[in-house]
Amino acid sequence: MSETLTIRRPDDWHTHLRDNDLLKGVAPFTARQFARAIVMPNLSPPMTDVAGVSAYRDRIIAALPEGSDFTPLMTLYLTDDTDPAEVERGFASGTFVAAKLYPAHATTGSAHGVTDIRNIYPVLEKMQAIGMPLLIHGEVTDNHVDIFDREAVFIERTLVQLVADMPALKIVFEHITTQEAADFVEGSGETIAATITPQHLHINRNAMLVGGIRPHAFCLPVAKREKHRQALRKLATSGCTRVFLGTDTAPHAKDLKESACGCAGIFNAPFALESYVTVFDDEGALDKFEAFASLNGPAFYGMPVNETTITLEKAPVTVPDKIDANGTIIVPFHAGETLRWRLA
Ligand code: NCD
Ligand code: ZN
């Protein structure tokens, strides 16, 4: 009998499900692994109002396989012009559960993002008052700042002040990639949480650049030095209750990644749990996996935990070189590798 691990069904607190044909191709992978997922609003055009988010939610539900009980948890895309009343209306009606702050031009689909956080202070004050979480892509976009330093500089320049100004605002520092971010989150109070992706637990920047440039290891925030990966593994497996699973699965067609200007984003949804659990096993922390995957996220968002369970077994599974997602060919994270754990 192989070793097994049974945990409450996990949720994914950071996904990109895209739209139209690609949505139909990728949503089943997330729905197969997770009960719920926070769906990012960086479509083209972005999801900036209640009506748009509500219609997108309907398209996601329609894209799910027959009989799926997956629940998309929607988010609003903040711009310099977001109206606090619209935010309150959408949160009160349950159309969205959080709002996403993309600094303008930080990443894929962020062209309409916020140019200066002070522009949205009235919105953030409203969110603080109604208990609505702010999800942050935490990188500065200043051309003078090296891309490997953009997250650490964001903490110094923006996050510290924001937390001082809005001490009761719930903030999720998304997809953290640095020792600085890990230290910041660990040292913060109850209002500050973070998500960590599987890729930032598995790879450092060598994976992108040694032996040739490897576009399928490129995402934003970009993977950093080994010491940062080690800090993230330590935090993820530490038992800190304010850290939870968020894959940042971000599918792009193979040919758009293998290009002179390849898109940022790693498609990790098909084997996300297998990828994460391997890390917890390597760190001797399988006993911490259920909290990270299934308990901490709902607790922070103020939602019930899932009642059903899943079982992972210690048995090999080989990740395919590519996946046909309803006509779009995508190279998944761990392509061609054999992982030691699989979903039973
Ligand atoms: C994301 C995408 O492709 O939408 N890309 C990525 O590299 N993570 C955007 C994001 O979350 O930064
Ligand atoms: Zn993302």
Alpha-carbon span 25 to 1, nearest angstrom: 35
pLDDT digits (tens, 9 = 90+) for 159-169: 999 999 999 99
pLDDT at 108: 84
Model pLDDT, residue 15? 98
pLDDT tens profile 277-292: 999 999 999 999 999 9
Helix (H) or strand (E) holding 39: strand 36-39
How far apart CA 165 and CA 121 sit, in angstroms, is 9
For 76-116, how does the pLDDT look when each residue is reduced to its tens digit (9 = 90+)? 999 999 999 999 999 999 999 999 999 999 988 899 999 99
Q: Cβ neighbours of residue 83 under 8 Å, at least 6 residues apart?
A: 123
- Which residue, 331, 340, 329, 324, is CA-closest to 286? 340
Task: Confirm whether 77 is domain-assigned.
Answer: yes
CATH of the domain at 202: 3.20.20.140
In a domain, 336, yes or no: no
Task: Report the residue count for the chain.
Answer: 344
State which residues form the domain around 142: 10-310
pLDDT tens string 217-243: 999 999 999 999 999 999 999 999 999
Per-residue pLDDT of 252-263, as tens digits, reads 999 999 999 999
Distance CA 193, CA 174 (A): 8
Spacing, Cα 34 to ligand 1 middle (Å): 19
In a domain, 101, yes or no: yes
Q: Which of 58, 248, 287, 321 is catalytic?
A: 248
**CA angle 131–231–139, rounded 5-degree value:** 55
Q: Is residue 334 part of a domain?
A: no
- pLDDT of amino acid 100: 98
Rounded average pLDDT over 303-322: 98
Closest ligand to C-alpha of residue 247 is: 2
Task: Looking at the CA of 246, name the nearest ligand.
Answer: 2
Pocket test for ligand 1, best of 108, 140, 195, 216 (most atoms within 8 A of CB): 108
Active site includes 58? no
Examine residue 320 and state whether it is found in any structural domain, yes or no: no
Domain for residue 322, yes or no? Answer: no
Percentage above 70 pLDDT, the chain: 100
Give me the sign of the Cα torsion angle 168, 169, 172, 178: negative
Q: Is residue 342 part of a domain?
A: no
pLDDT-derived band at 142 (thresholds 50, 70, 90) equals very high
Task: Return residues with CB closer than 5 A to ligand 2 (ion).
Answer: 248
**Ligand 1, atom nearest to 102 Cα:** 12
How many whole angstroms separate alpha carbon 112 and alpha carbon 96?
19
Give the pLDDT mean for 293-299. Answer: 98
Element (H, E) at 49: none
Q: Residue 136's beta-bridge partner residues?
A: 101, 173
Q: CA triplet 343, 245, 94: central angle to 5 degrees? A: 110
Q: Does pLDDT of 1 surpass 80?
A: no
Q: Ligand 1 atom 11: the closest Cα is on which residue?
A: 248
Residue 330 lies in a domain: no
Cβ neighbors of 17 (< 8 A, separation 6 or more) are: 23, 26, 27, 30, 37, 39, 40, 60, 63, 72
Could you write out the DSSP letters of every residue in 189-201? Answer: -TTEEEEE-HHHH
Stretch 39-67: mean pLDDT: 97
Q: Could you give the CA distance from residue 189 to residue 191 in angstroms, rounded to a whole number? A: 6
- pLDDT at residue 325, rounded to an integer: 98
Residue 2 has pLDDT above 90, yes or no: no
Pairing of strands 342-343, 309-313: antiparallel
Residues with CB under 6 A from ligand 1: 16, 42, 107-109, 137, 219-220, 248, 250, 264-265
Q: How many domains are contained in the chain?
A: 1
